[in-house]
Structure 1
């Protein structure tokens, strides 16, 4: 029975990820999520309490997966940015969900602890590397992390109109721009 419950929750999370990435929190419909997952709305409310609870679960899973799959290496921040870029390219739904989160949750919800914890850890790693003399101190750790994260997401966060201007840029070229830009930030 536990395996069935876990499988159902996974199907619901997968369906919700697609739905929220496409329609945002306000536009997502639990009936579509349930149908896509081969489940029913009652199970969504049973497992996640609400549509907002389901979104939180989706976002927490994305944070956990990103932290697991792309751990920070404060001694190689250009490499870290490149791996983040790779992750965003492989999972465009992450950028879309983050955008919906910023648009629909910025002023109305308490911050998700998974995001706060992840950011604290990364900031601590950067601060430690700065104290150890492995990174320049030109930028505060929190600012350096923000620059890295946003540079890594640069190409997935541009408007479609801008994307047409760089259509000839290969994925490898876009990645190199990201890693080179982060390396430039670290020059004394």
Structure 2
């Protein structure tokens, strides 16, 4: 059987995503990643250049997946907010990885920062084709991501503050409130969406995989 380098890369990336989401960069172990990926450690260094670069590739891939999962609607802030919420809901590792990254870099530059900056700029251009409106949309998008991500970053606070015996019901309520807030604070042309439009049902969350 011939060696499939691309399949090995994918397995390494999948195993590394689980490992880094659970332990962060400092706590992750290359030997555990290699075992879970059914690969040797040399392959990890060959393809990714070490643990730090592998961590960067994992975060970059996660952000790219999130961005591609959201079909922006330049005419409706509420719909865009709902779609961003659902993208985070179905990708439970995304917030954990970004929190680990923030702890690791402590305000410094992250791996592949320019490529990630370019992807966010692309999203802003989708929402604001007119350059005159992009600064306001940047502020709106950053605030919206914070509103969305916090629902998944601190579940213990959600339990205590929302005081909702049904976690799914609490999440639906939070999704509706985030979408409402996004519509109210949206700059033009995003403000064109009807803030009283019906609340859509959130996507079902994908089960969070645990590292082997």
Please tell me the TM-score bracket, short chain as reference.
Answer: 0.7 to 0.9
Aligned partners of 1:66 and 1:103: how far apart in 2?
21
Aligned partners of 1:180 and 1:3: how far apart in 2?
52
Aligned partners of 1:71 and 1:118: how far apart in 2?
14
Aligned partners of 2:94 and 2:34: how far apart in 1?
21
Indicate the residue corresponding to 1:148 in structure 2.
Answer: 144
Indicate the residue corresponding to 1:15 in structure 2.
Answer: 15
Task: List runs of 5+ in structure 2 lacking aligned partners.
Answer: 192-212
Q: State the superposition RMSD in angstroms.
A: 2.4
Task: List runs of 5+ in structure 1 lacking aligned partners.
Answer: 132-136
Q: TM-score, normalised by structure 1?
A: 0.85
Q: TM-score, normalised by structure 2?
A: 0.76
Greater helix proportion: 1
Output aligned runs, 1:21-170, within 5 Å: 21-105=21-105, 106-107=107-108, 109=110, 112-128=113-129, 140-158=136-154, 160-166=156-162, 168=164, 170=169
CA contact (8 A) 1:122 1:145 kept: no
Aligned partners of 2:2 and 2:174: how far apart in 1?
44
CA contact (8 A) 2:12 2:34 kept: yes
Report the CA distance between 1:114 and its aligned residue. 3.1
Aligned partners of 1:156 and 1:8: how far apart in 2?
31
CA contact (8 A) 2:34 2:41 kept: yes
Question: Residues 63-119 of structure 1: CA distance to partner in whole angstroms, max 9, x if unpaired?
Answer: 221222113222222211111111111111000001111111232545523320121
- Between 1 and 2, higher relative CO (CA 8 Å, sep ≥ 6) is seen in 2
Aligned partners of 1:127 and 1:180: how far apart in 2?
20
Indicate the residue corresponding to 2:183 in structure 1.
Answer: 183
CA contact (8 A) 2:128 2:137 kept: yes
* Count of matched residue positions in the alignment of Structure 1 and Structure 2: 182
Aligned partners of 2:131 and 2:175: how far apart in 1?
25
